[in-house]
Structure 1
Amino acid sequence: MDVPDPVVLIVDGETFSARADVQQPGAWHMDWVSVPNPGYGFTTRRSDQQLESRAELEKGVRSFLAEIDVNGTGYLSD
């Protein structure tokens, strides 16, 4: 399987670098580049192991951002 190059996504003013995982087909690691917490982000994976489209990746980022405590820690809310 060809692994795509990393993709830069700018969603709601936040920048993420998305990279496919060669060890887990269908998984993408989403590194939050514009956050003050280096190395913070999340991983998403389709159960059918297909690569996600750009629109699916952006939807995942929006869902992730909706859970962030933006006025406090900058991490996922409890």
Structure 2
Amino acid sequence: MRPDTYPDEWRPSADDGPVELVVDGELFLLEVQAGGGSHCTWVPGPNSGYGFSSGATRVAWKTESGLPPAPLPVPLPSIADHRRSIREFLDEIDPEIGYLAD
């Protein structure tokens, strides 16, 4: 599949290996980690290896007895979620230096 045609609802996992993902004409390498976090590397970006990481989704709750029930599975982010994160990253880049703006 081409890196710009993944369906929005797909939720890649660590087993899928690195996934090339094109967002707004920019190529990123998405690596989902076993614990649910991810790392995106901006492949053609002006600074080699530059990108960002996201931690796994965490859920906290409390029951009336004070003891939490068995944890519910938290779904991995979808491709739409990853695209949104990448767009937010790109929006924060200072075009003169190619890094996040101060």
For this structure pair, what is the TM-score category when the shorter chain's length is used for normalisation? Answer: 0.7 to 0.9
Which residue among 33, 44, 64 is the counterpart of 1:21? 33
Q: Normalising by the residue count of structure 2, what TM-score does the alignment of the two structures yield?
A: 0.66
Q: State the structure with bigger RCO (CA 8 A, min sep 6), 1 or 2.
A: 2
Q: Which has the higher strand share?
A: 1
Give the unaligned 5+ runs of structure 2.
Answer: 1-12, 59-73
TM-score normalised by the chain length of structure 1: 0.84
Q: Which runs of 5+ in 1 are unaligned?
A: none
Separation in 1, partners of 2:51, 2:44: 11
Which amino acid in 2 is paired with 1:73?
I
Identical positions, percent? 41
Larger radius of gyration: 2
Counterpart for residue 58 of structure 1? 83
Quote the Cα distance in structure 1 between the aligned partners of 2:14 and 2:53.
19
Aligned residues: 75
